Amino acid sequence: MTRRPRPQPPPTTGVLDWRDSSHWSWQAKQCRYCPGLTQLRDSKGKPAHKTCAEAALQQQAADAADAYQNGTL
């Protein structure tokens, strides 16, 4: 009998796990969500603070839920 690996718990720092070095750049650029500068990059390589990206995901989920409830989705 083979054992399946246990699912990993979500990161304790929020929804997104940006511990991988691909989310870091030496050059600071303006966050795509706020006027602040950041050295972090999202999965598409665009500059974004982790907290700003998580807030944007939360807003997108809320908008989708509203659209579903209103029948506009």
pTM of the prediction?
Answer: 0.72
**CA pair distance 9, 68, nearest whole angstrom:** 29
| Per-residue pLDDT in tens (0 to 9) along the chain, 73 residues | 567 777 666 555 677 888 889 999 999 999 999 999 999 999 999 999 999 999 999 898 888 888 888 877 6
**Taken in order 46, 50, 59, 31, is the CA torsion positive or negative?**
negative
What are the residue boundaries of the structural domains of the chain, listed by start? 21-70
